[in-house]
């Protein structure tokens, strides 16, 4: 990623003393003059407008020290021209080249307080920000930033909630209810569109929203009553994108105003299609067998990712990751943001996921535009980037240029997507002109599982092109896609990264037809919320020569595919069903009957390690041999086989079907580990332009000292643990996501100092080494659960059931559980959700103790 910045600086006349008069007005014109911003100072008050579109409206900022919205005196103006060239990893256009005219207006207020107003204008719109240039801490108590919209202007507005998931509505600027509205907001003023947005919001400040008090007046209100920061302070940009609907839809101004990328090497950032099972079958993320089936489907169709949503378990994810990577599929994992809200959690959880081979994370439920939450974004973004973990923010704020600054952010939700289980064509046709303008949108499209929808099959498929998202999470069951072979065939060909985007036609709430280019191919796609009819596509965007146009659309009995030869300037007419859609692939015509490119799954390979498992002491060495085989097919190239921990690799320039590569190493077990440690052996190779990772591990068990005398289970090291929510707690009840945040273990009013707090389903395994004879505990649902919870409890010795309970519910008496553990090496304590779901299943093993030799 590179940035080219050129600047020509012009300083306006600066008088010997500050100018102090009324009625001052300045203009800042875009290079080429398409857009002109106007700044006014009258009676000490500032105003900002966009020529012929938005009349001047009051602006300013108030701090605890000074009111910089009134009593201002002009000091100076300086101007320069900026040209920036940069490359994105996602978005409507990868290569960006923008030229902006910038003017900085300096003012003083009461007591000599200083304010700079920085204005930037491009061919796509205008923006301003406040700069408080003094050093030292500053407390902002509000802005007077506002907009005056003609009351009769059409308006497409999003009622504000901090997750931006309310339905959009069409109204007028004056008729909109008195309420708060989220960014971006779209207005049609005469024949010109104006979009209001923000850019460059981070932990220095808070997110804003629009407050409508009536008429055509809209004001910016911050999420926090006060914002504190170190000076000098630059606030976010207040952005107005203006022009025809194509200018607004294709605009990159929000990204252009954002800080440059903080990541130099983005080669590891890889957009792509994602198979995601949660929407179509909510329980599937907890089922490793089902997730393996999704991996197999993704591998067959060369989808690069599978997202495992809420419900995954650390006991099986690492092995599933290995299974997937050997087939050319990477795993993404869902996390609640509170699992990463402390430095200790980030330093523990993220490296663990990386060590498993996870490629990225979906982080959910931030649900706030506060300064504190933006400071959390400031912390999680470099932490994930350092580990080369890609990110999808769900339950998140709306994009404000984040994907330019942190290009490993592949997408954000901030939309009422298909997971709401209600799809309307009229709403779908608003998103391309509003929410998706400012950044990648994780709508989770192409869902037949949503039964409450008025869209056609072709409409659903077209969403994969009409909506831009670096990770396109396709949200139905894989069997559903396989039962729609024409849809799957098209989905397998659609890219998610675009070199160019053009709006061909449309109007918010009625229709949207876009053309996007990837390499030498174009994709034209449209969605409609109108009655059946034909749509005409002007192919003037094509280069010269003959092109094959291959269209998928709704037919009388399902999806149909049609082909024709076209040239630049032709009109392609596509029949649309009511609320329908279409996807047209356009490729240079070479005589082929299709634009499809071959779908070639990664070759099946076999990696064996010997021994597969062993037992030894800390610091000991283990002799390991590995053989990597390509049974058939190929060839594969740049083959490398080596221990993950280091060691001399064995290599081969290529392997053909039936050939193998072998190596032997002596590996040392860490001297500070107990329990099971894995010593992975990794084979990598190149296939069709990408590196495939195949991994197997020798599982080495390092037993801890066996307990002696009377021992509390909560004092012993855990060989393994899993928990339905957060960690298993020692001597506390189950809390939230952090260790130690539970309450005292309490059963029917009795507080127990020792024991384990779990959340079903969960289990803990400890080492007895055959040294103990008996186990005893009191079990039940902790008193902290006021809504009925339920669980069953089971004691296992070396995998064999020794004792257990029936279903215990909230308020039931504590039940004693005892077991003879003579000769048992591994003791496992397990709780289940009793078959009715895991909500409120806070299960206590109170006073859990052992009698040992």
Residues with catalytic roles: 364, 419
User: Which among 721, 717, 682, 718 has a CA at the least distance from the CA of 698?
Assistant: 682
* Widest CA span in the chain: 95
* Burial (CB count <10 Å: 0-12, 13-18, 19+), residue 57: buried
| Complete DSSP assignment for 130-149 | EEEEEEEEEEEEEE--EEE-
Residue with tokens 């220095």: 204
Neighbours of 531 (CB within 10 A): 10
What's the distance, Cα to Cα, between the start and end of the chain in Å?
64
Structure tokens at 412: 């954000």
Q: Is the dihedral of CA 276, 736, 387, 437 positive or negative?
A: positive
| Secondary structure of residue 681 in the 3-state scheme | strand
Residue 147 CA to residue 197 CA, distance in Å, equals 12
Q: What is the DSSP letter of 178?
A: S
Structure tokens at 1: 């990623």
Structure tokens at 633: 């097919």
User: Which among 489, 458, 463, 493 has a CA at the least distance from the CA of 475?
Assistant: 463
User: Which among 329, 387, 380 has a CA at the least distance from the CA of 354?
Assistant: 387
Residue 94 CA to residue 87 CA, distance in Å, equals 6
Structure tokens at 186: 């779209």
- What residues contact 169, with CB distance under 8 A and at least 6 apart? 156, 157, 158, 159
Q: Phi/psi at 112 (nearest 5 deg)?
A: 85, 10
**How do strand 360-364 and strand 390-393 relate by DSSP bridges?**
parallel
Peptide bond preceding 8 in cis form (omega within 30 of 0)? no
| Complete DSSP assignment for 454-465 | ---HHHHHHHHH
Residue 472 CA to residue 525 CA, distance in Å, equals 16
Residue 125 CA to residue 238 CA, distance in Å, equals 11
Helix (H) or strand (E) holding 246: helix 245-250
Angle (nearest 5°) at CA 332 between 837 and 741:
55
Neighbours of 732 (CB within 10 A): 20
Residue with tokens 């008088």: 15
Residue with tokens 């909560």: 714
Q: Phi/psi at 303 (nearest 5 deg)?
A: -80, 130
Residue 455 CA to residue 446 CA, distance in Å, equals 10
Helix (H) or strand (E) holding 488: helix 485-491
DSSP E strands: which ranges in 437-557?
471-474, 500-507, 511-518, 521-528, 533-538, 546-555
Structure tokens at 649: 């690799």
Structure tokens at 70: 């009134």
Residue 636 CA to residue 623 CA, distance in Å, equals 28
User: Which among 195, 249, 344, 400 has a CA at the least distance from the CA of 738?
Assistant: 344
Q: Is the dihedral of CA 481, 482, 485, 490 positive or negative?
A: positive
Burial track 740-749 (b if 16+ CB lie within 10 A, e otherwise):
eebbebbbee
Size of the chain in residues: 853
User: Which among 482, 161, 85 has a CA at the least distance from the CA of 296?
Assistant: 482
């Amino acid at each position: 990623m590179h940035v080219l910045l050129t600047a020509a600086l012009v300083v306006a006349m600066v008088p010997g003393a500050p100018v102090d008069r009324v009625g001052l007005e300045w203009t800042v014109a875009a290079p080429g003059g398409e857009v002109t911003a106007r700044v006014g100072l009258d009676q000490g008050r500032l105003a900002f407008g966009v020529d012929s579109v938005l009349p001047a409206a009051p602006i300013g900022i108030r701090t605890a020290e000074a009111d910089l919205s009134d009593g201002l005196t002009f000091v100076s103006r300086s101007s320069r021209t900026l040209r920036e060239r940069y490359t994105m990893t996602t978005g409507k256009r990868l290569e960006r080249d923008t030229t902006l005219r910038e003017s900085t207006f300096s003012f003083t207020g009461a007591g000599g307080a200083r304010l700079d107003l920085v204005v930037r204008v491009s061919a796509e719109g205008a923006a301003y920000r406040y700069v408080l240039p003094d050093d030292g801490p500053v407390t902002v108590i509000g802005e007077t930033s506002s907009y005056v919209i003609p009351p009769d202007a059409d308006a497409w507005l999003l009622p504000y909630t901090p997750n931006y998931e309310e339905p959009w509505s069409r109204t007028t600027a004056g008729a909109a209810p008195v309420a708060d509205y989220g960014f971006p907001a779209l207005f049609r003023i005469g024949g010109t569109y104006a979009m209001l947005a923000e850019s460059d919001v981070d932990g220095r400040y808070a997110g804003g929203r629009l407050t409508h008090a009536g008429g055509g007046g809209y004001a910016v209100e911050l999420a926090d009553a006060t914002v504190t920061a170190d000076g000098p302070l630059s606030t976010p940009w207040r952005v107005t994108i203006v022009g025809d609907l194509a200018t607004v839809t294709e605009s990159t101004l929000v990204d252009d105003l954002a800080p440059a990328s903080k990541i130099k090497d983005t080669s590891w950032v890889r957009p792509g299609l994602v198979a995601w099972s949660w929407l179509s079958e909510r329980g599937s993320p907890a089922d490793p067998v089902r997730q393996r089936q999704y991996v197999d489907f993704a591998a067959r169709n060369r989808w690069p990712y599978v997202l495992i949503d809420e419900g995954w378990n650390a006991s099986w994810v690492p092995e599933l990751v290995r299974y997937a990577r050997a087939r050319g599929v990477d795993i993404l994992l869902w996390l609640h943001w509170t699992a990463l809200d402390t430095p200790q959690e980030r330093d523990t959880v993220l490296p663990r996921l990386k060590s498993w081979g996870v490629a990225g994370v979906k982080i959910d439920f931030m649900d706030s535009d506060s300064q504190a939450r933006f400071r959390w974004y400031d912390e999680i973004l470099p932490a994930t980037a350092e580990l080369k973990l890609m990110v999808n923010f769900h339950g998140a704020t709306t994009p404000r240029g984040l994907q330019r600054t942190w290009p490993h952010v592949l997408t954000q939700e901030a939309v009422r997507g298909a997971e709401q289980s209600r799809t309307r064509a009229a709403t779908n046709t608003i998103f391309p002109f509003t929410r998706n303008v400012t950044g990648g949108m994780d709508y989770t499209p192409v869902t037949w599982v949503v039964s409450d929808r008025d869209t056609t099959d072709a409409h659903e498929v077209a969403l994969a092109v009409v909506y831009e998202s670096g990770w396109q999470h396709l949200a139905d069951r894989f069997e559903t896609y396989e039962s729609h072979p024409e849809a799957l065939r098209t989905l397998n060909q659609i890219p998610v990264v675009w070199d160019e985007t053009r709006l061909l036609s449309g109007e918010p709430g009625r229709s949207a037809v876009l053309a996007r280019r990837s390499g030498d191919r174009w994709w034209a796609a449209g969605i409609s919320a109108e009655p059946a009819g034909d749509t005409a596509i002007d192919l003037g965007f094509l280069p010269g020569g003959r092109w094959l146009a291959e269209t998928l659309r709704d037919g009388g009995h399902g999806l149909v595919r049609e082909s024709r030869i076209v040239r630049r300037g032709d009109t392609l007419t596509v029949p649309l069903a009511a609320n329908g859609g279409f996807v047209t692939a356009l490729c240079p015509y070479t005589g082929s009957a299709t634009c499809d490119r071959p779908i070639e799954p990664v070759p099946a390979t076999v990696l064996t390690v010997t021994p597969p498992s062993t037992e030894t002491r800390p610091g000991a060495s283990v002799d390991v041999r590995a053989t990597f085989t390509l049974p058939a097919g190929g060839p594969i190239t740049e083959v490398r086989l080596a221990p993950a921990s280091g060691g001399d690799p064995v290599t081969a320039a290529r392997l053909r079907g039936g050939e193998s590569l072998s190596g032997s190493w002596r590996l040392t077990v860490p001297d500070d580990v107990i329990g099971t440690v894995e010593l992975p052996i990794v084979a990598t190779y190149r296939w069709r332009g990408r590196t495939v990772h195949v991994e197997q591990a020798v599982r080495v068990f390092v037993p801890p000292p066996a307990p002696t005398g009377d021992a509390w289970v909560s004092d012993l090291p855990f060989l393994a643990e899993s928990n339905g929510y957060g960690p298993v707690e020692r001597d506390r009840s189950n809390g939230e996501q952090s260790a130690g945040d539970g309450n005292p273990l309490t059963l029917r009013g009795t507080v127990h100092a020792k024991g384990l707090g779990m959340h079903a389903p969960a289990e803990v395994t400890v080492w007895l080494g055959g040294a103990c004879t008996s186990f005893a505990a009191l079990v039940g649902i902790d008193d902290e659960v006021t809504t009925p919870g339920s669980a069953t409890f089971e004691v296992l010795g070396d995998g064999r059931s020794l004792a257990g309970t029936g279903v215990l519910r909230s308020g039931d008496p504590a039940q004693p559980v005892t077991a003879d553990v003579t000769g048992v090496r591994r003791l496992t304590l397990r709780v289940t959700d009793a078959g009715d779901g895991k909500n409120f299943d806070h299960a206590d093993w109170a006073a859990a103790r052992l009698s040992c030799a």
